[in-house]
Structure 1
């Protein structure tokens, strides 16, 4: 588990603003949080050095790119050896259609969020790729009917 980073109220406001708009200028950010541009720059660098802030990204509308299907996929692996887990997790990191992967407690070993263009696209990935991985024993897929909420901003 990562060490918790201590931040103050201005840092929290900076984080909230950056999560809303990663492309905001330091001058505009400083104005919004009530600080100087130089102070904001130093605070951002300090939070980056502490590992609190990572790379700035832009979000992309999956549906507009043709990825209209979201699948939650539960995975049970054949073996829990360190080598097999490492191989499976390396495979997951290499697959662009797998957006998220959680190691789970309980009945299933992993939970994946997978995007696909349509059901046939997902079926091809499942049958030809995922289930063919030597670490995978079985999978259970759940298709999202709609997206009610999707945020990337953490409560600060």
Structure 2
């Protein structure tokens, strides 16, 4: 990757709907040269997908919750059950295995506390856990999908 690739990625992270002509103009390349570089980065897996970001509050998903989980067991079967369950729940946006006191951190979006309780009940019905606690976001100070290039 060179500086031109980084410039292209910067533009795509800001607005993936930009056409090749516009990206080329912004980074100083022809449409075809831009397309070749983007295709190369897609083939290499650097560009995984192009998505549309939605306004969660306008879709009645105004509450972000971080759920801290301590596993009931530490074996492959439990992890497989946990992974399948969390991947199948669309409210769960991210699941991370952690170091330190807790085992997993889950990031989810729900409408309100009642919706969180429904999610919590569904999760503990699918996966045995030793301990579950939650923290609710009061204010989003920064929330971005753009990686630093």
Q: TM-score range by the shorter chain?
A: over 0.9
- State whether residues 131 and 137 of structure 1, in contact with CA within 8 Å, keep that contact through their aligned partners in structure 2: no
Number of aligned pairs? Answer: 149
Equivalence for 1:3: none
Equivalence for 1:77: 71
The structure 2 residue matched to 1:14, chosen from 8, 11, 24, is 8
- State whether residues 87 and 135 of structure 1, in contact with CA within 8 Å, keep that contact through their aligned partners in structure 2: no
Moved more, 97-106 or 129-138: 129-138
Alpha-carbon deviations, 1:18-68, whole Å to 9, x = none? 000000000110000001111110000100111100111000000000011
Equivalence for 2:27: 33
Equivalence for 1:129: 122
Q: What's the C-alpha RMSD, in Å, of the aligned pairs?
A: 0.9
- State whether residues 81 and 127 of structure 2, in contact with CA within 8 Å, keep that contact through their aligned partners in structure 1: no
TM-superposed CA distance for 1:133, in Å, is 2.4
Runs of 4+ in structure 1 deviating by more than 6 angstroms, as ranges, are none
- The answer on 1:153 being equivalent to 2:146 is yes
Q: Provide the TM-score with structure 2 as the length reference.
A: 0.96
Give the unaligned 5+ runs of structure 1: 1-6
Equivalence for 2:133: 140
Q: Provide the TM-score with structure 1 as the length reference.
A: 0.92
